[in-house]
């Protein structure tokens, strides 16, 4: 890379020249969020991918998100700045093991959280995200037995909220399991007026002390509408950039991890950088490709989710 290039200008030029749209998740680094055409949570990003008329979708997020965009847009080029940007939660559900697990529950329908591979999506009946999960569950009859995969924390939170008894796959996100309840409580004693806002991928004891639980978009909107001036934010740190931007006079404190060496940055999300983003737009790679039969099978439960969430 010519270090004299202004990457912001170059990325803007490439977007125009190539009719490319840049979609970014809230966990991306601030510079990437600032050049994106659309920033959102997983549902917002899937909806944006479903309706774009750009020729190229550049996905600043992790692999399952770009893969979902490709599933919805087989004829568009979908680029991901670093193909190694995976997801510990998606990795916790290998399709061949999940297939065997599913065979033990022949009467159950499968609701899968969008944080999973195309292989898991192809084995699922409906996909959900943290912002529409309750609605998706409620769309099924009360007595319908359900398997929920792959996040056990979100699954048990949803079981409590909806009064269902979904069978849970034992997966989790490495970032959301790192928070220390004790340190959050200590922080709260020092900031008694602060509201604790948490993502539902966190473990149950953390969720039990939260004032608000929601997807990244949900957390951002809550921080805008709530009268509190201080918030303890229990999720990946990337979201703080938008919170601070939207609410310059409020204070956002990232929740502390359970030990000093741990960190609540997602190592997968943070693999993408502005430099890699520029290179991927310039050279149009790495590109997401996938088997057509797998794509068709994985698309069905995503379409159903988009229909129910419209």
Is 128 annotated as belonging to a binding site? no
**The binder of ligand SF4 chosen from 28, 47, 115, 215 (CB under 6 A):** 115
Pick one of ligand 13P, ligand SF4, none as the site partner of residue 130 (Cβ within 5 to 8 A by kind).
ligand 13P
For residue 14, which of 61, 85, 83, 77 has the smallest C-alpha distance? 77
Does residue number 215 form part of the binding site for ligand 13P (CB under 6 A)? yes
CA distance 230 to 171: 32
Does residue number 174 form part of the binding site for ligand SF4 (CB under 6 A)? yes
Footprint on residues 118-157 left by ligand 13P (CB under 6 A): 129-130
Does residue number 29 form part of the binding site for ligand 13P (CB under 6 A)? no
Does residue number 80 form part of the binding site for ligand SF4 (CB under 6 A)? no
* Least spacing, CB of residue 1 vs ligand 13P, in Å: 28
Is 235 annotated as belonging to a binding site? no
**Residues 237 and 264: beta-carbon distance below 8 Å:** yes
Does residue number 47 form part of the binding site for ligand 13P (CB under 6 A)? no
Inter-residue long-range contacts of 93-101, CB under 8 Å, 24+ positions, other chains counted: 93/117, 93/120, 93/149, 93/150, 93/169, 93/171, 94/119, 95/119, 95/120, 95/122, 95/123, 98/123, 98/149, 98/150, 98/169, 99/123, 101/147, 101/169
Is 26 annotated as belonging to a binding site? no
Pairing of strands 146-149, 126-128: unpaired
Is 202 annotated as belonging to a binding site? no
Does residue number 68 form part of the binding site for ligand 13P (CB under 6 A)? no
Site string for ligand SF4, 17-36 (x = CB under 6 A): ----------x---------
Tell me which stretch binds ligand SF4 (CB under 6 A): 2-10, 11-19, 169-177, 216-224. Answer: 169-177
CA distance 12 to 17: 9
**The binder of ligand 13P chosen from 52, 73, 216, 242 (CB under 6 A):** 216
**The binder of ligand SF4 chosen from 23, 80, 87, 118 (CB under 6 A):** 87
Residue at token pair 């979201």: 239
For the stretch 84-97, what's the b/e string if a residue is b when 16 or more beta carbons lie within 10 angstroms of its beta carbon?
ebbbbbbbbbebee
Is 94 annotated as belonging to a binding site? no
Pick one of ligand SF4, ligand 13P, none as the site partner of residue 137 (Cβ within 5 to 8 A by kind).
none
CA distance 29 to 5: 19
Structure tokens that stand for 247 in this block:
């609410």
Task: Give Cβ neighbours of residue 164 (< 8 Å, ≥ 6 apart).
Answer: 137, 142, 146, 158
Footprint on residues 233-292 left by ligand SF4 (CB under 6 A): 236, 266, 268-269
- Which residues sit in the known binding site for iminosuccinate? 25, 42, 113-115, 130, 199-201, 216
Which residue ranges make up the site for ligand 13P (CB under 6 A)?
Answer: 26, 41-42, 115, 129-130, 173, 199, 201, 215-216
């Amino acid at each position: 890379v010519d270090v004299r290039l202004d990457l912001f200008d170059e990325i803007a030029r490439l977007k125009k020249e190539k009719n490319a749209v840049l979609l970014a998740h809230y966990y991306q680094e601030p510079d990437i969020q600032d050049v994106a055409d659309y920033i959102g949570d997983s549902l917002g990003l899937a909806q944006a991918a479903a309706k774009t008329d750009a020729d190229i979708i550049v996905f600043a997020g992790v692999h399952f998100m770009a893969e979902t965009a490709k599933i919805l847009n087989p004829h568009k080029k979908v680029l991901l700045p670093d193909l190694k940007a995976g997801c510990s939660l998606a990795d916790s559900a290998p399709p061949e093991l999940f297939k065997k697990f599913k065979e033990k529950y022949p009467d159950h329908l499968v609701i899968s959280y969008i944080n999973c591979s195309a292989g898991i999506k192809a084995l699922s009946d409906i996909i959900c995200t943290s912002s529409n999960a309750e609605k998706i569950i409620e769309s099924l009859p009360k007595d319908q037995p359900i398997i929920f995969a792959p996040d056990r924390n979100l699954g048990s939170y949803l079981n409590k909220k909806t009064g269902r008894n979904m069978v849970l796959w034992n997966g989790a996100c490495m970032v959301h399991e790192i928070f220390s309840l004790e340190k959050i409580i200590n922080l709260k004693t020092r900031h008694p007026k602060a509201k604790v806002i948490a993502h539902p991928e966190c473990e149950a004891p953390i969720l039990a002390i939260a004032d608000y639980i929601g997807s990244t978009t949900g957390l951002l909107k809550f921080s805008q509408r709530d009268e509190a001036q201080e918030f303890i934010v229990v999720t990946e740190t990337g979201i703080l950039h938008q919170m601070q931007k939207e609410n310059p006079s409020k204070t956002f404190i990232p929740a502390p991890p359970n030990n000093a060496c741990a960190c609540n940055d997602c190592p997968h999300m943070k693999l993408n950088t502005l430099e890699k983003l520029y290179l991927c737009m310039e050279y149009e790679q790495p590109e997401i490709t996938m088997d057509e039969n797998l794509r068709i099978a994985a698309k069905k439960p995503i379409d159903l989710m988009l229909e129910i969430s419209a």
